[in-house]
């Protein structure tokens, strides 16, 4: 189903899954015609409308939310049977190319990469997947990934060393690249992590597709709240190719606009 982007429709939340202490998955009672990396605008009645990546495209359609502020807190507190408004899907999504892929996810960024991993596997490839979090108990979708990614292709990094490599995913990536070759990196997560990964990809001549986050209001390229250089994250993105990232290198990993349009530094 393609929902009218200008019209929000009310959808029942059919199941809630508590993933970690601050991350929750909401399974939605709807079907959708969406591709990996696309997102919905989710309206929480009486609170706000916010962008949320699809963490599953079908059977069931789901979103996975981290509680970081007012709207995400309200969404995390929705109960089974409650309704939320959705419009979408929006954005370009990832392009699945006939190349050897490494997927790198940090925090809730892993959510938008899970449907991509499934799509790559459906197409007959065996993707490698590197996931990172501050600590073992914050690793999202580890069990789901262990089911679909071969053991020797699943890399784990935690800042505190409670699981896998001790340190940032970017440091682990440098280690992995000493023994493995990849043609393309798909990444979603904190922008400073993705910026480091972009630099490493450029040094090693590896293509990259990175899913960026900016403050989104309209989701259809009109209001300008999500502008970065010549692009609108909501419509031209959220997935940026190597070439697009080179064009916005002065903003990427450095500054973004707050809801009032003022430029503020990126701190995570």
Ligand X SMILES: Cc1cc2nc3c(=O)[nH]c(=O)nc-3n(C[C@H](O)[C@H](O)[C@H](O)COP(=O)(O)OP(=O)(O)OC[C@H]3O[C@@H](n4cnc5c(N)ncnc54)[C@H](O)[C@@H]3O)c2cc1C
Site residues (CB under 6 A) for ligand X?
A: 39, 48, 50-53, 64-66, 68-72, 108, 111, 213-216, 238
- For residue 50, the partner it binds in ligand FES, ligand X, none, with Cβ less than 5 to 8 A by kind, is ligand X
Tokens of 24: 């929750």
Contacts of 170 by beta carbon, 8 Å cutoff, 6+ apart = 193, 196, 197, 200
**Nearest distance, CB of residue 234 and ligand FES, angstroms:** 3
φ/ψ of 239, rounded to 5, equals -90, 120
Which of 224, 250, 263, 264 lies at the binding interface for ligand FES (CB under 6 A)?
Answer: 224
Nearer to ligand X, 41 or 176 (CB): 41
Please report whether residue 130 would count as binding ligand FES according to CB under 6 A: no
Task: Give the nearer residue to ligand FES in terms of CB position, either 184 or 218.
Answer: 218
With CB under 5 to 8 Å by kind, the binding choice for 218 among ligand X, ligand FES, none is ligand FES
Rounded to the nearest whole angstrom, what is the least distance from the CB of residue 51 to ligand FES in the complex? 8
Query: Using CA atoms, how far apart are residues 109 and 190, in angstroms rounded to an integer?
Result: 8
State in angstroms the smallest separation of the CB of 260 from ligand X.
Answer: 12
The listed partner (ligand X, ligand FES, none) that binds 42, CB under 5 to 8 Å by sort, is none
Shortest CB 41 distance to ligand FES, Å: 9
**What is d(CA 192, CA 268) in angstroms, rounded to the nearest whole number?**
6
- Minimum distance, C-beta of residue 238 to ligand X, in the bound complex (Å): 4
**How many other C-beta atoms can be found within 10 angstroms of the C-beta atom of residue 247?**
16
Q: Rounded to whole angstroms, how far apart are CA atoms 1 and 71? A: 25
Instruction: Tell me the β-bridge partners of 61.
Output: 28
> Pick from 14, 83, 100, 217: which binds ligand FES (CB under 6 A)?
217
**Of 127-135, 162-170, 176-184, 225-233, which segment contacts ligand FES by CB under 6 A?**
225-233
Binding residue for ligand FES, selected from 225, 231, 244, 245, defined by CB under 6 A: 225
3 state SS for 18-75: EEECCEEEEEECCCCCCCCCCEEEEEECCCEEEEEEEEECCCCEEEEEECCCHHHHHH
Cα atoms found within 13 Å of the Cα of residue 115, Cβ hemisphere only: 24
The minimum distance between CB 63 and ligand X, in angstroms, equals: 6
For helices 191-203 and 169-176, angle between their N-to-C axes, nearest 10 degrees: 20
């Amino acid at each position: 189903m393609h929902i009218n982007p200008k019209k929000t429709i009310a959808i029942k939340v059919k199941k809630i899954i508590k993933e970690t202490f601050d991350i929750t998955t909401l399974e939605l009672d709807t079907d959708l015609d969406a591709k990996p990396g696309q997102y919905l605008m989710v309206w929480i009645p009486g609170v706000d409308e916010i962008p949320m990546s699809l963490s599953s495209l079908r059977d069931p359609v789901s979103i996975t939310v981290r509680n970081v502020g007012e709207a995400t807190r309200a969404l995390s507190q929705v109960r089974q049977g409650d309704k939320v408004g959705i419009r979408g899907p929006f954005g370009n999504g990832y392009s699945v190319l006939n190349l050897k892929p490494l997927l790198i996810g940090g925090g809730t960024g892993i959510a938008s990469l899970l449907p991509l991993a499934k799509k790559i596997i459906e197409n007959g490839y065996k993707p490698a997947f590197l996931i990172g979090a501050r600590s073992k108990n914050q690793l999202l979708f580890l069990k789901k990934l262990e089911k679909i990614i071969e053991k020797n292709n699943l890399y784990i990094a935690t800042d505190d060393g409670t699981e896998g490599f001790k340190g940032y995913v970017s440091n682990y990536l440098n280690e992995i690249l000493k023994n493995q070759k990849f043609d393309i990196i798909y990444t979603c997560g904190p922008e400073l992590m993705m910026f480091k990964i972009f630099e490493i990809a450029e040094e090693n001549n590896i293509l990259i597709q990175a899913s960026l986050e900016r403050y989104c209001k309209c989701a259809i390229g009109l209001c300008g709240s999500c502008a970065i250089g010549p692009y609108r994250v909501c419509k031209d993105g959220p997935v940026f190719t190597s070439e697009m990232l080179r064009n916005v290198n002065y903003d990427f990993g450095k500054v973004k606009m707050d809801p009032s349009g003022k430029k503020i530094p990126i701190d995570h």
